Structure formats: structure tokens, C-alpha cells
Structure 1
Amino acid sequence: MDKKLRRSRVDRKIGGVFGGISEYTGVDATILRLIFIVVAIFTMKTGIAIIAYIIALFVIPSENMTNEEVLDHHRKRVDEKRRRMEARRNRQYDRIDRHQEAHTKHKMQHERARAQHAERNHPGKTRPRPSREFSFDATTFRGLKVQVATGDVTLRVWEKEDLKVRVGLAVHEKARSIRQLSEDKLWDYFFSQTMLEITPEQFIFESKNDVLKTDIVLTVPKRLYEQMKIQLLNGNLKFDDVAAEDTLLKVHHGDVRSTGASGKFLSTEVLDGEIFFRRVNVENIDLSTQKGDVAVSGNLLTTVAKTAKGDVDYIVYNDTATAADLKAPNGDIRIQIPASWNVDGTLGTRREKIYFDLKNAKVWDNSNQTFVFTQNAEEISTGTIQASVNTGIIKVTELEETQEEVK
């Protein structure tokens, strides 16, 4: 029998006794450690369990592994955890997409069921949800301002210079007097409560009545906008491939999602909702939410990402970034950076652990609550990372070469 009992140099808490027994017997090391703790408690007066462990520590020889093999094994475990984390994040994005699709499908089914119910109880009075599309040819505006009290906003771009605005209306069930209006009267009510203005310099859409749910889809020309302001009280915001020098987004209750946005300054403030920015090209980005996760990835210079109740995912592709300030007092922070980035960082956690896997980094301080490092210590740092949590973990890994980058 070639199999021999050895103390593990990989799965070890003190001396690797239970890790070695686990490899020899096939029993999970955690179970063995729990059994030992129970036995140690019951034999506390005699101390026989402790004595037996000390004897095993000296009798069982250590596993024949070099330091390089041990480090390589640990790196493989960290890489596996990182792949699982990346897969979990992708599943989270897919789950959000499926949730939104299911939510839209549920709303449509609900509208059909309500229409059928109305038809049965009030024959001849049922009607589909009012929807209209407005077109503006050959626009030149470079400022965009949208303010909606209740409703979802979707922003799209296309190669034409024309602007399309598609509006869908729904009335709150408690507003019975408005629900009884005919479709023409309902649109008259909408226009009386809404400002829609387009000038050569700016496009403005404001619907401040929270009784009237206004879902809008804006299809705007693909150009660099000087300023974009979008404010929602109750609703979700989604936009892709929009370029604006200065972008200000405020959402009270709802999520903000974007892919491929670009510009110089982008600020997003959410009270109750999640923030997802993927593959962005923004020089300075500031994301904050009181309740929800924050995820940002792309080519960035300065980044501020804060959430009071949620996690922060930060992935930067370029090694020219200058600063990142990440805070998640009641969640976890996951960071991926390129190996070529000359960055120094300060990580802080009060209760949990810091998982750090930067191969070329120099660690200057590794106390209980503070972790200070320099990536590529032989070169002058060009960027700084600050990350802090209270009850969660912080994980820092190198960006994989196969990671999809922003072009």
C-alpha cells in the first residue's frame, strides 16, 4: 500500500494533523476538527485530547512538499475561488435579466387579466394600455434632461439624427376618476401633466404626476452629449452605449443598469436599488446606493463606489487608473486589477478576513484590521485603492488575461 499518513502542508490550521488524516481516510477535515473540539471539551479535566494531538504532531511526519508546491497549490485554490466568484457574478447578471423579462411578462399578463376582468364586468369598456410614439427629425441637441415620477426609462442610441420617444401609460388603481377617461382624454391629461420640449440645444421630458405611470423609451442620435440628467422617483433606468461628458443620475426606488457608457464624469445616486455599470469608458465615476449592490467594470481613472447595505464589485481593465475609493460597511468588496498596474492600497475590515492574491505585491502592514500593500513595489505607484468594510470580506485578485476588456 503506497498511501501513507502524513501531516498536510496545505490543509492545516495548526500542524496539519487533521488535514493529513482527511487525505488518508477520505473524511472531511472540518468534521474531524469538530469531533476533536467536542472530545476536547468533554475531556477538559484530563486534557487527553490535547495530549493526543501533541503526540500526533510529533509522531506523524510532515508531507514532502516544497514551499513552491505549497504556494502553487494555494494559488490554484484561489484561482478556483475566483472563477466561482466570476461565475456567480455572471449568473447574477443573467438572473437580473431574467427577472426583468419575467417582470415585464408578468405585467403584460396582469394587464391582460385585468382587461379580461373588465370586459366580463363591463362589456365594451375594456381597452389596451395606451401607447404612442413621437418622432423629431434632424435633431441637434446635446443636452438631455428627463424627470419621471413613476415609470421606467430606457435610453437607446442609433446612427440617425432623428429622435424617437415612445410613451406607455398606466393609471394607478386608486385614481378611479382618471381610469374612467377615454383614451383621447387620458392623453390630454398626460399632456397637461407633462412637459416635452426640444430645442436645438436641449431635449427635456418631465412627468411629475405619480398617479400616472409613464414608461418611456428614448432613441437618441449616437453623439457625444455635453450633459445628461435623469431623475426617477419610482422606476428603473437602463441605457447602453451613451456618451456624455457630464452625466447625473438620481433614482429613489429602482435599479440603474448600463453597458458601454462613456464620458468624463458620471454620478449615480440611488436610495433603494442596485447599480450595475459594465464595460464602461468613464474617466471619473461616482456610484452610491443606500440599499443594494454596486458593480462597475471598465476603463476608469477615478472611481467612488459606496453602498450602505450591499456588496461592491470593482473590475478595472486599464493600468492608468489613478484612484478607487470603495466602501461597503455591511457587505463584501471584490476587486480585480491588472497585474501591470503600479498601485498601492489600504484595505480595512473589522470582523472578517482579507483575501489577497497579487503575485508581485509587497505587503507593508498586515495587522488585524489594516492591510497595506504596493503592487510592483520596485516602481513608483501611479494609483491608489482604498477599500473598507465592517462585517464583510475584502478580496483582491489579479485580472485574468482572458477577461473581456473594454475597447
Structure 2
Amino acid sequence: MNDGLAKRLFELGAKVRNPSLFQLYDELKDTEWLNRQQLQDLQTEKARKFLCFAGESSPFYRKLFGEVGFKPNEYSGVSDLFCIPELDKLSLIENNASIHSDNIFEKVRLAETSGTSGQSLSFNRSERWDSLNRAAMMRSYDWYGVKPWDRNGYLWGYNISRKQNRKVKLLDMLQNRFRLFGYSSDEIDAFARKLCGASFLNGYSSMVYEVARLINEKGIDVPALKLVKGTSEMIMDIHHVESIKAFGCRVTSEYGAAEAGLIAFECPYGGLHINVENVIVEQNSEGEILITNLESQSFPIIRYNLGDIVSLSEKFCSCGRAHPLVSEIQGRKGNNVHGLNKKYPALTFYYVFKNIALEHEILVNYKVVQKEIGKVIISIEGELSSITIDRVQEQLDQYFGLDVECDLVFVKKFEITQKKSQYFESNL
């Protein structure tokens, strides 16, 4: 599909589904280079209006604000939110009907998400909410010289019937994208050939890594892409190595969730910029991120705990944009590792392998499974390496001592799956 036709089809689709998209995109472009104080003032004013709306229109928040004594019309900064209890996905599910606003008159669409927790959530998302999220994505794509209608490859988790396969392919064609449905040698070859005419690639970061690795192993020459976007999963150091070799660029981080919207996007200078025009980001005492989505009028999202451990930074990115930064996404707090005498956060393994990457430049793709108390199996992709064993064991001893027995198993290649990767699984 030529660029002109792709753009016209995108604009036609936006006119039907997201009529406010381009207006909101222009507004975000206008605020892109504001200084930090201007951005904070903009966010504060927008938050006050949103919180007043939620307190008036959502039965759940009308009651909650009254119980905790929160006065949205007096909102002056993030600290004013501290009296409002955190909400998790289960809270959104259990209070679904009362959270929904009762005086939304614009077009809404049903959105659904299960996420890594497996808890199914559905909610009404207004046209403006959806459009502003897409507009923020368009602005982020601009940083890489990419437009959403550009030819692109798509790696996502689909286990669908042949009939659904045909429907998805038709929808992909209308959106000027193509995806990988299987991982046979012929399918990888065909996908790589299509990438030769593409501008960008996006999908689960683990799937981007697997495709890049297979392309590198087969020696397929893919011209450099403008953008390789990884989403929904942690991006590991080893993912960048294979992506640079295969596609000519690192895996760019997009951080968000269906119910929270786009939270942050990484620029070419490496700064993961928070989308402060649309969301308020907080961090609780345990390091978990809390999100308030300022455009979620149809289903207000206020102090929503995603369960992710993050690090925030007040530093400025060298790109010149003043948006605050997420300095590190460490992953979901997740399940505990059960030792013989103590429990440990599953993120411990993140630190184990992050440390050996930083201290010894050993990059590892790994998966950890616990089936019995006091013991885990750590699978490491690649050839058996005594150096890797020694370095990993040193870190494991520091964190677990004798409380958790860790069996290291080397696997030549992990099985490729078309779903989110969980780097720690507990079967207890």
C-alpha cells in the first residue's frame, strides 16, 4: 500500500472512530516543549477539573470523596490525593458499575483487559479518552520520524481460528500492518521480507527478541527500521543486543496499560518521558506506581495501583523535553519466592541478572519456576557456561543464602510462545 493511500485510510478510520484525534494531537504538540513548571501548572488545572467531574458524576467517587473529606475543587497538587485510598484491578472489577460516570453523553466503547494477573476488567472508554491516548502515541512516534499509518510489523499474542485469521489479516491490511502468526522457517522468512518495506516494528518485547534472534541466526538482511517498540513486558538488556543486530536499533520502551492509558514513552535519547498532560504518576511506600488518568471521565481511574515497581527521576532528558522521567521499570511486584524460612519478592531475580549484566557484562535470557517450597529452577537460554554459573550463583548466594536451593538449567532455545512472558512463575 502506498503512503498516500495508507494515510487517507487512517484519516477515514479516525474520522469514524476518533473524530477528535487530530485536534488533540495538535494540542499535545503545542505542550511538548513547555518547561516543567508550565507542565505542572497545566496538569494541576486539568486534574482539578477531572476530579470535580469524578466527584459529581461517579457514584463510587462521590461517596469515597465524602468519606475521606477530599474536596476536588481545592486540589492544588499531588499531595492532596494522599487521603484517597489506592485502587487495584480487583477494586475496579468489584465496584465496576458504581465507578462508571452517570452523565457521559459522548460516544463510548467497551474496553476489556485481563493483563498478567488474569483478572478480567471491562469498562466504557469515551471517545476523547481513547483519542487522547492515541494522540499521545502519535506524538511519541514523531520522535522517530514515524507516522501510525506507516507500514509496520506487528508481534502480538494471538491463538485464533482460521476464520478469525482471515478477519485479522483484512484489518491489518487496512491499517498497513502485517503480523507473524507462526514461527516456522518459512513464516519467519516471509515476515522478514515484509520488514524490508516497513518503517517500524512493535509488539511484546520477548517476541521482538525471539524474531530478531531467529533473523540473526538465519542471516537475513533487514534494512534498519526507524523504530522497534516493545510493550507490555520488561525489556531485558539481551533484547537490545539482538534488536540492534537485526533491525539497527534498540527496543524502545512504551509503558502503559489499557485501563491506565499511555504512561510514558522512551525518546531516542533514552529518556522515558511521563505523559504528564494525561496522567498523574505517584509512587507508594513500596515503590509501586499509582496512576490517575486525567481523561478517564467515563470510568474514572484515580490512584490506580498497577502492581509495577518503578523508579522515578526529576532529572532532565538531554532531548530538551521537560517531562519528568521514569528512570527504571523493574517489573511487577508479583508473587513471592518461598524459601524454607522466609519469603522474597519475585523481583529478586531481576536484580540478580541485572547485577551480572552491569558488573560482568553477561547478558542472560532467563525464566524461573518454583514448584516446591525452598527450591526454584532457573532456566538460562544458551550454551552451558561455567563463568555464567559462577556469576549467577554468587548473586543468588547474596540474596537467598541457603534458604532457597536454585537449580541452574541451560536450555539451547526457549520455546516461542505468542503470549506475554512471565519471568517468574509459581506453582505453589
More relative contact order, 1 or 2 (CA 8 Å, 6+ apart): 2
Shorter-chain TM-score above 0.5: no
- Identify the structure with the greater strand proportion: 1
For normalisation by structure 1, the TM-score amounts to 0.24
For normalisation by structure 2, the TM-score amounts to 0.23
